[in-house]
Amino acid sequence: EDQVTQSPEALRLQEGESSSLNCSYTVSGLRGLFWYRQDPGKGPEFLFTLYSAGEEKEKERLKATLTKKESFLHITAPKPEDSATYLCAPGRVGNFNKFYFGSGTKLNVKP
Amino acid sequence: KAGVTQTPRYLIKTRGQQVTLSCSPISGHRSVSWYQQTPGQGLQFLFEYFSETQRNKGNFPGRFSGRQFSNSRSEMNVSTLELGDSALYLCASSLRTGGDSPLHFGNGTRLTVT
């Protein structure tokens, strides 16, 4: 059965305190792993796509990595404006193309 | 380039009524997907349209329906509203159908059913 699990559910960091968010998945026919950021009252905003194990993508203080079963979103020296909910979504192609969204990690960075 | 536009932003309806939500995708995007987001269930896939054809459907009752027009704009309809339909409804567009092209979301329609 296809499933996605994100951990932790919530994470509180002090400004400058680096950490990692985890996305574990079991999805057949995986095409890519997508990360999104969602601010309160807004739709998710696309961040990265990772297509193969070992691939890494960076954007400002964020770096996403991918293995065969997990993806990590590393946050280096976060700032309060990085506070948001981060969602991962493995994308499947095949007879039933779709995205499986995790429940998200709510990040709060305190100044 | 204009993003995904959803209207209206907020709706308050009474149980038993029906509602229509509208979505204008990014220019050039032919795939439009709809999602329901609630605090308890997260993002749940409703359906996807590509070139006016429904390509995929999630596990929602038949009260939830949609359509896509020739200009790729999409509408979603919910009939016989129930209290549990209160949620943020998100529309997303993408270049390609399926799970290999990033989704670009609108800011949603917040539906409250009383």
Q: Please report, for residues A49, A102, B6, the alpha-carbon distance to residue A9 in angstroms, rounded to integers and kept in the order given.
A: 22, 10, 28
The residue type of B100 is D
Helix (H, G, I), strand (E, B) or coil at B112: strand
What burial letters (b/e) apply to B10-26, b meaning 16+ CB within 10 Å? Answer: ebebeeeeebebebbbb
What does the pLDDT look like over B63-88, one tens digit per residue?
999 999 999 999 999 999 999 999 99
Q: Kindly write down the DSSP assignment for every residue of B22-61, as one continuous string.
A: EEEPPTT--EEEEEEEETTTEEEEEEEEETTEEEEE-S--
Candidates A46, A97, A103; nearest CB to B103: A46
The residue type of A94 is G
Inter-chain touch A99–B45, beta carbons under 8 Å: yes
Alpha-carbon span A10 to B109, nearest angstrom: 25
pLDDT, residue A94, reads 57
Backbone region of residue A25 per phi and psi (left: phi > 0; alpha: psi in -120 to 50; beta: other values): beta
Mean pLDDT of B6-33: 97
- Tell me which chain B residues have a C-beta less than 8 angstroms from the C-beta of A89: 103
pLDDT, residue A91, reads 83
β-bridge pairing B109-113 and B10-13: parallel
Q: Chain B residues contacting A, CB < 8 Å? A: 4, 35, 42-43, 45, 48, 55-56, 58, 90, 92, 97-108
Question: Which has the closest alpha carbon to A109: A9, A14, A18, A19?
Answer: A14
Closest residue of chain A to B91, computed from CA coordinates:
A43
What does the pLDDT look like over B36-46, one tens digit per residue?
999 888 899 99
pLDDT, residue A85, reads 97
| Average predicted confidence (pLDDT) for chain B | 94
Closest residue of chain A to B10, computed from CA coordinates:
A41
Alpha-carbon span A41 to A43, nearest angstrom: 7
pLDDT, residue A1, reads 72
- Whether the pLDDT of residue B30 is over 80: the answer is yes
- Tell me which chain A residues have a C-beta less than 8 angstroms from the C-beta of B101: 91
What does the pLDDT look like over B45-55, one tens digit per residue?
999 999 999 98
- Give pLDDT tens digits along chain A (111 positions): 778 899 999 999 999 999 999 999 987 777 889 999 999 989 999 999 999 999 999 999 999 999 988 999 999 999 999 999 999 998 876 555 577 888 999 999 999
pLDDT, residue B43, reads 92
Longest CA–CA span in chain B (Å) reads: 39
Alpha-carbon span B101 to A98, nearest angstrom: 10
Residue B37: count other Cβ atoms within 10 Å of its Cβ. Answer: 19
